[in-house]
Every structure is written in C-alpha cells, then in structure tokens.
C-alpha cells in the first residue's frame, strides 16, 4: 500500500519500461498519451537518448520501439481499461509516411482492439508555406481497448444536437420540429413512430447527441514549454469517457504534464513517466500546483 501511495500524482524520471516494473498489474484504468512523433525533434540529452522514441533512423524501428513500450504497459492496464493514443504524421522526401495508421495496425497485430479513430482538427494549426499539397491541420487519436468488455461513458461527453438547430443541413431545418409527419425522409424514418408523431423529446437524448469522431480543439499552451502542448480539453474528453473518480490514469510520455494536470482537476489519480529531467520537473511542478487533490485511498 505504501509503495502505491508513492506512485500517485507523481511523474517518475526514467525509461517507461523500467518504471512499469514498479507498477502493479491490473492497476491502471486508462492510458492517455501523445508520444514523440517520428523524426520531428530530439528531446533528451546524450545521457538518456538510448531510450528516446522518435529519433530512430528508420520508421520500422520507431514503430517497434513505440509498440514495445505500450506492450510493457499492457499488463498494468485493467481488463476494463483503454488506451487513447494521439499521433501525428511525418513527411520524408515529400512523401507522407502514414505513421499513425502503421502504428495502429502494429498494435492490432499485438492484440489491442481498435475501437475508434478520431480526427483532432486544430483550428490554430501552424501555418505552412507548402504549395504542392493541402496544409495539415489535423492529427489522429486512436481508442484501443485491452478486452471487448471495457468501460466507456458516452453520456459524459455528449455534444449539442445539430438536427433542428440553426446548424442543421436538413431540408426544411427547424420547420419540421414537433410537427406530425414532419420528417423529410419518410423512407429513412418510416419505422420510428415517435418522429412521425412529432415526439422529438423521445427521439433525441436530452443531454445531446453521441460524440462524433471529429474533434475541433485548439492547440494548448504552457509558458514554460518551448513547444505546443496537447490541449487540456482533448485530454479531458478522453478521460471523462473512460474513467471514473479516483481511477488511475497513466501517461508514459508525460512531457509538460498536461495529462496529470487534467487528471487531478477531475478527481482522478495520475502516474506519469518522463525520460527528460527538465520536463519531469516541469510536469511535477504543474501537477503540484493544482490546489485540489483527490482522495488517494
């Protein structure tokens, strides 16, 4: 019990595989992480570069190293747990490598169950001078589960209804709202008597529609980090959908500590690992600054 307490809301310095040896099996409810992307930048100094993911000379080694790291964490994940994996792509010699999907397929080959792919649309993406292709303003988020019986709370992340709103693309728009036989596609909705009798209150969930697979969320900022951090809203969406209060979230690539900050703010427990001491200290400082801490045990 004492050893478990030492893990909670801590960012542990070192290689993730080694750190995982000290985490109990079936302990983590969700892994929420954004690993270093292939070939983008080097974060570590010479002392820890042998463990750094993202600086490999070829894509195959990057995929193998990233998958191996996540496989080391898998026994620590509860059977009801999930992995949320955020990845961007890389161009080499003017060719898009397809890194996110190559990693996703490699994880599937290891037995992870791919439940959803999400497009993270960044409205404030960095401008680009490229003229031979569209400017990239999205990344992927993959939802993996360890088993087919995993925890997912759709109600916690519902979004506003579009049907019959001013944003509706349906012919007739709000003119159909509440009117008997008011649905424009009779064949499509022929079996739903609630719709045809104008019972819209029984046809739509009162708290909004099910979350869609395109999430428009601006990039995050943190003044002490010299790079864009993934936003708290993105982390929170993943966290609310896959965990409950006091559940444990793990981020094996903690970076500036956004996952941990969001976890503590939402009454969850957090464990992080970080290879670079500067970022480990930065992340721990951010997490410690949150005034409200959840009940540990």
Q: Give residue limits of the domains in the chain.
A: 2-158+210-288, 159-209
How open is the CA angle 153-248-228, to the nearest 5 degrees? 85
Q: What is the pLDDT of residue 167?
A: 66
Q: Tell me how far apart the alpha carbons of residues 158 and 160 are, in angstroms, rounded to a whole number.
A: 7
Distances (CA, A) of 271 to 37, 221, 222, 237, 251: 22, 22, 20, 18, 7
Q: What is the pLDDT of residue 41?
A: 59
- How close are the terminal C-alpha atoms of the chain, in Å? 9
pTM of the shown model: 0.85
Burial 243-257 (b: 16+ CB within 10 A, else e): beeebbbbbbbbbbb
3-state secondary structure of 122: coil
Q: Which CATH number is correct for 2-158+210-288, 3.90.1150.10, 3.40.50.150, 3.40.1190.20, 3.30.70.600?
A: 3.40.50.150
Question: pLDDT tens digits, the chain, 297 residues: what are they?
Answer: 446 778 999 999 999 999 999 999 999 999 999 999 998 655 555 554 566 898 899 999 999 999 999 999 999 999 999 999 999 999 999 999 999 999 999 999 999 999 999 999 999 887 888 889 999 999 999 999 999 999 999 999 999 887 656 666 555 555 555 555 555 555 555 555 555 554 455 557 778 889 999 999 998 776 665 555 789 999 999 999 999 999 999 999 999 999 999 999 999 999 999 999 999 999 999 999 985 544 443
Q: What is the pLDDT of residue 206?
A: 79
| φ, ψ (nearest 5 deg) of residue 64 | -60, -40
Q: What is the pLDDT of residue 46?
A: 52
CB distance 246 to 294 below 8 Å: yes
Q: What is the pLDDT of residue 125?
A: 81
For the chain, the C-alpha Rg in angstroms (whole number) is 22
CB distance 228 to 221 below 8 Å: yes
Q: What is the pLDDT of residue 127?
A: 80
Q: What is the pLDDT of residue 186?
A: 54
CB distance 262 to 232 below 8 Å: yes
């Amino acid at each position: 019990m004492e050893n478990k307490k030492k893990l909670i809301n801590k960012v542990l310095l070192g290689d993730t595989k080694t750190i995982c040896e000290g985490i109990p099996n079936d302990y983590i409810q969700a892994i929420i992480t954004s690993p270093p992307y292939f070939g983008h930048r080097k974060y570590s100094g010479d002392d820890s570069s042998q463990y750094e993911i993202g600086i490999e000379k070829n894509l195959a080694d990057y995929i193998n190293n990233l998958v191996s790291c996540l496989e080391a964490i898998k026994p620590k994940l509860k059977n009801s747990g999930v992995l949320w994996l955020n990845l961007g792509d890389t161009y080499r010699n003017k060719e898009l490598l397809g890194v996110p999907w190559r990693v996703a397929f490699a994880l599937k080959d290891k037995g992870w169950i791919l439940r959803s792919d999400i497009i993270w649309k960044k409205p404030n993406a960095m401008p680009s001078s490229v003229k031979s292709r569209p400017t990239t303003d999205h990344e992927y988020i993959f939802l993996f589960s360890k088993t087919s019986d995993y925890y997912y709370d759709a109600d916690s992340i519902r979004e506003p209804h579009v049907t019959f709103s001013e944003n509706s693309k349906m012919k007739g728009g709000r003119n159909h709202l509440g009117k008997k036989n008011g649905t424009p596609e009779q064949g499509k909705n022929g079996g739903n008597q609630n719709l045809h009798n104008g019972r819209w209150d029984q046809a739509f969930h009162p708290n909004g529609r099910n979350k869609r697979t395109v999430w428009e969320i601006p990039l995050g900022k943190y003044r002490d980090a010299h790079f864009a951090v993934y936003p708290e809203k993105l982390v929170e969406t993943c966290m609310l959908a896959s965990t409950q209060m006091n559940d444990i979230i793990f981020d094996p690539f903690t970076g500036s500590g956004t996952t941990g900050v969001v976890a503590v703010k939402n009454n969850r427990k957090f464990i992080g690992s970080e290879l670079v001491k500067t970022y480990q200290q930065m992340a721990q400082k951010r997490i410690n600054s949150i005034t409200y801490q959840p009940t540990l045990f």
